Chain A
Amino acid sequence: MSKSRRNFILNIAAIIVLFIILFLFNSYGTNYQIRILNNIAVFITLAVSYNLVNGICGILHLGPNAFITIGAYTSALLTMSAAEKQMTYIIQPLVWPLSVLHTPFVLSLIAGGVMATIFALLISFPVFRVRGDYLAIVTLGFGEVIRVLANALQSITNGPLGLKGLVPYTNLWWSWGVAVVTIIMVQKLINGSYGRAMKSIREDEIAARAMGIDPFKHLLLAFLISAFFSGVAGGLLAHLITTISPTLFTFFLTFNLLIIIVVGGLGSTTGAIIGAALFAWGGEALRVVERPLDLGFLKIPGVPGMRMVIFSIILMLVIIFARRGIMGRNEFSWDWLLTKLRLGERG
């Protein structure tokens, strides 16, 4: 059996095991556990697609929150019924044709991704004229512009009131289905010729150009693909939280994603997955530290925000002891696992 065939079978097996676990949680888990699993999946999708631009292309892009916002609003507007929209938009009515459009959930997700991609295309021309810190600031500005627009365009986004009472379509199958598809497609891209071209730009843009790589074309490709998956994840997030408003998608969200991929290992999809899982699960697990603590001899009152202190400490420890993140630029591979388990050929 060839190695690629073996890996293919193992991948399929891993996905089946994943979905069996999800099935068990779906049947016997508490709502709280299911909620965390959904969060993990959405953050995996976001982190893996964000890593494509920041880790693989080496571009400091600080505006994924813009694409998540666009995806969330687009998707939400398409799944709400006309009657719901009429009830929600009390200050200014929603513009036609958005006021009557109503699509199934899956179409709304795709539309969210496509809309995010269109916006990404529009801003890519100014964005990729610059590099480094300047690019970071342009994308950061774009994220803010979208947030302000979401606040101001009353007749499209319902302004600061946001959209409430969305149908919670996002379940484990949707969130993890999207996450798995994103991981597979992004990995295929990264490991192939297009991915190599992107990495060559990250390593040395001048040399990459001399080897016939058009930097604009490839950075744009990564940027658009990343925006698409971010938009889809935004749609999932909207139908998970069921209430969206402009305050939900601030720079803080981008900042969290950046922490996830840096802690996981910039440029590693495996790292992005681990980072996202740790973040989404750890954020909940650490709630313990915010509760009042009674040790018998010592009473510690609950301190709101304590989680963030612990998080910062963990972040600093990772940066000190694993300077390139948990995974560095390495990826999980079956070869590595089998060697560890002493099942594969050594060498």
Chain B
Amino acid sequence: MNDFFRLEDLVMQFGGLTAVSDFSITMQPGELVGLIGPNGAGKTTVFNMITGFLNPTSGRVIWQGQEVAGLAVHKITEAGIARTFQNIRLFTDLTVLENVMVSFHQHIRTYFWEAMLGLPTYQREEKRIRDTAMEFLQEMGLVHLAKEKAGGLAYGQQRRLEIARALATRPRLLLLDEPAAGMNPHETNELAELVRQLRDRHSLTIFLIEHDMKFVMGLCERIKVLDYGITIAEGTPAEIQQNPAVIKAYLGEPK
């Protein structure tokens, strides 16, 4: 049994509504897996259960041998699972650099009173954080915007900053919630290339939600399809494209 990352029969009920039922998946380190499905299928709910924003009604989330379902969100991030958000959630009034620097705070080794007294140990750590954050911005091509307010960035840049910020938490599993939403085909192609590079450079395992079929089919090695909270298909991009249940879910019954 693989204990790297495994979801076992996750169920999420809101009152009488079952948003997700019996969702299971096992992922190997380094895999790039896609999660697709029509609007309201429960894809983001799955992400919310993995990252601790929702406590699953039943089922287990196994991460590196440990059960993490129900842990506080920041504990799960500390354990090495990071995410981006479907509706961009940047710290808009902070600068681009500060947005990334926030992600380093969880690993900070100095105490608050060292900061208040301005001790050298603290100042060295602050400088280290700043320098490393700049490296992440460099990698995402945002370095020239470091001092801009995050809220003032163009849409595509905001999406990139979200990824940079998530990467800076030093995850082993990265969850991307519709990273290509609102991008033009050219930007989408660039993003696909970037995601692939990031996976290799940071030895990441990536699980992503996306509506852009060309993006998903071109990028992911394996795809899961959700409809009304139920897993209707799983397989390689080629298999998914041929799957009658998937075609039905997206296009409806043939007349």
Contacts and interface: CB of A to CB of B under 8 A. Distances in A.
B245 to A, nearest CB: 33
Nearest to A192: B115
Interface string A210-243: 1111100000010001000000000000000000
B91 A200 contact: yes
B82 A213 contact: no
A102 interface: no
A188 interface: yes
A329 interface: yes
Contact of A212 (B53, B106, B116): B106
B11 interface: no
A294 interface: no
B98 interface: yes
Contacts of A207: 85, 89-91
A194 B108 CA distance: 9
B126 A210 contact: no
Contact of B105 (A188, A193, A203, A210): A193
Interface in A186-217: 186, 188-189, 192-197, 199-200, 203-204, 206-214
A185 interface: yes
Contacts of A225: 112, 116
Contact of A214 (B72, B166, B169): B72
Contacts of A212: 74, 77-78, 103, 105-107, 169
B72 to A, nearest CB: 7
Given A193-B126, A197-B105, A210-B73, A203 B91 contact: yes
A132 to B, nearest CB: 18
B33 interface: no
Q: How large is the interface on B (under 10, 10 to 19, 20 to 34, 35 or more residues)?
A: 35 or more
Contact of B112 (A189, A196, A211): A189
Nearest to A214: B74
A188 B118 contact: yes
Interface string B84-124: 01000111111000100111111110101001111000100
Interface core residue of B78, B83, B102, B103 (most chain A CB under 10 Å): B102
Contacts of A329: 93
B62 interface: no
B159 interface: no
Interface string A162-195: 0000000000000000000000011011001111
Contacts of B53: 206, 209-210
Contact of A188 (B94, B98, B106, B116): B116
A209 B72 CA distance: 9
Contact of A206 (B77, B89, B112, B129): B89
Contacts, number: 101
Given A188-B118, A212-B78, A196 B89 contact: no
Interface string B66-78: 0000001110011
B43 interface: no
A343 B143 CA distance: 28
Contact of B98 (A196, A206, A209): A196
Contact of B92 (A194, A195, A203): A203
B116 A185 contact: yes
A196 B102 contact: yes
Interface string B160-196: 0000011011000000000000000000000000000
Interface string B199-216: 000000000000000000
Contacts of B115: 188-189, 192-195
A199 B94 contact: yes
Nearest to B53: A206
A204 B91 contact: yes
A204 B106 CA distance: 16
A103 to B, nearest CB: 23
A188 B83 CA distance: 30
Nearest to B111: A194
Contacts of A192: 115, 122, 126
Contact of B108 (A188, A193, A221): A193
B169 to A, nearest CB: 5
A149 to B, nearest CB: 30
Nearest to B51: A210
A339 B103 CA distance: 33
A323 to B, nearest CB: 14
Given A193-B129, A211-B77, A211-B102, A204 B108 contact: no
B112 A194 contact: yes
Contacts of B105: 193-194, 196-197, 211-213
Given A196-B101, A210-B85, 17 more contacts: A185-B116, A188-B117, A193-B105, A194-B112, A204-B90, A204-B91, A206-B53, A207-B90, A207-B91, A208-B91, A209-B77, A210-B51, A211-B102, A211-B166, A211-B168, A212-B103, A212-B169
Interface of B: 51, 53, 72-74, 77-78, 82-83, 85, 89-94, 98, 101-108, 110, 112, 115-118, 122, 125-126, 129, 165-166, 168-169
Q: Which 6 A-B pairs have the closest CB atoms?
A: A212-B106, A203-B91, A212-B77, A207-B89, A209-B73, A192-B115
Interface of A: 185-186, 188-189, 192-197, 199-200, 203-204, 206-214, 221, 225, 329
16 contacts: A192-B126, A193-B125, A197-B105, A199-B93, A200-B91, A200-B102, A203-B94, A206-B85, A207-B91, A208-B91, A210-B85, A211-B82, A211-B169, A212-B169, A225-B112, A329-B93
